[in-house]
Amino acid sequence: MAYLIHLLILFAIYGILGLSLNLVMGYTGLLSVTHGAFFGIGAYATAILMTHAGLNFFVALIVGLVLSGVVSFIIGAILSRLSGDYFVLGTVGLNYLIVTVLINWSDLTRGPLGIAGIHKPHFFGLSFSDTPAFLVLSLIFLALTFLVARFVVNSSFGRALKAIREDQKALQVFGYNIFSYKLAIFTISGALAAIAGALFASYITFINPASFDVMQSVFILAVVVLGGLGSLRGSLLGALLLVIIPELLRFVGFPSEIAAQTRQAIYGLLLVVLMLYRPQGLIGEYKL
């Protein structure tokens, strides 16, 4: 039972990441490979503020959310005037840049050694130190993220994002500022990713830069592509499947030393098959 709860917590964390990335990638059509960095900013902000400043988890989470939103805004301002392959390469490069900062700013982040001893959340006498309670907290944040994402998608702002994906030049003719829309959704998406980072740091109680590299961004991208572009429910489905698939290898009996490589191969094979036979994902609306 404890192991099932562990998997559900990971599902909630990656569900939040999938939902937030889908706003940028699925609905707006911007292929971003920098979400692992926003995930890391939320995690590091929470870890540093809780371990060094002694702040409450929820206060640290808010600070991390704002900080990730600011960084997302800056990155969005740099990249939103780019398109196509240039945009993708820019997101990859900035993910590497942020991870490099986490590695080299050792006075604050402890570099490759990472930060250990991160506390579990407490709120008005309520403790979320045991895994069932933490699962409830994680699912609450997942539900809130889903509601925020759905509100964005169903608003006039969300309809403009879909129009940008379909034909942004036509939208410009009607006087829409495409740059500001891209910048806004990039900021919202990065801020939401920080929620997952805060949960991850507090749950695992240890983080290091390797947890938020480009491969993490690719994994989050796979969550969205597998579940479905332009589908919030698809993001949840993709997160659930990609959390469960590695665990199935345990039952197949793969040796631990090759399980990681096998997992990466399975992810790659899934993406290739989807691109060939169902490029919009399992329950998506748009093609990659």
Distance CA 232, CA 25 (A): 12
Residues 6+ apart with CB under 8 A from 126: 133
Task: Please tell me the predicted confidence (pLDDT) of residue 142.
Answer: 98
Length of the chain: 288
Phi, psi of 80 (to 5 degrees): -65, -15
SS3 of 285, please?
coil
Q: What is the pLDDT along the chain (288 residues), one digit of tens a residue?
A: 788 899 999 999 999 999 999 999 988 888 999 999 999 999 999 999 999 988 899 999 999 999 999 999 999 998 877 878 888 999 999 999 999 999 999 999 999 999 999 989 887 777 787 888 999 999 999 999 999 999 999 999 999 999 888 888 877 777 788 889 999 999 999 999 999 999 999 999 999 999 999 989 999 999 999 999 999 999 999 999 999 877 776 666 666 556 666 677 777 787 788 878 887 888 877 766
Task: Please tell me the predicted confidence (pLDDT) of residue 131.
Answer: 86
Contact 73, 186 (CB under 8 A): yes
pLDDT in tens, 187-202: 999 999 999 999 999 9
Distance CA 96, CA 89 (A): 11
Task: Please tell me the predicted confidence (pLDDT) of residue 253.
Answer: 62
What does the CA dihedral 22, 222, 45, 208 come to, rounded to 10 degrees?
180
Distance CA 11, CA 247 (A): 12
Q: Where are the alpha helices (DSSP H) in the chain?
A: 2-25, 35-51, 57-79, 84-104, 106-109, 131-154, 156-173, 178-204, 214-227, 232-252, 256-277
Tell the residue number behind the tokens 């039972």, with chain if given: 1
Contact 214, 35 (CB under 8 A): no
Task: Please tell me the predicted confidence (pLDDT) of residue 44.
Answer: 97
SS3 of 125, please?
coil
What 8-state DSSP symbol labels residue 210?
G
SS3 of 81, please?
coil
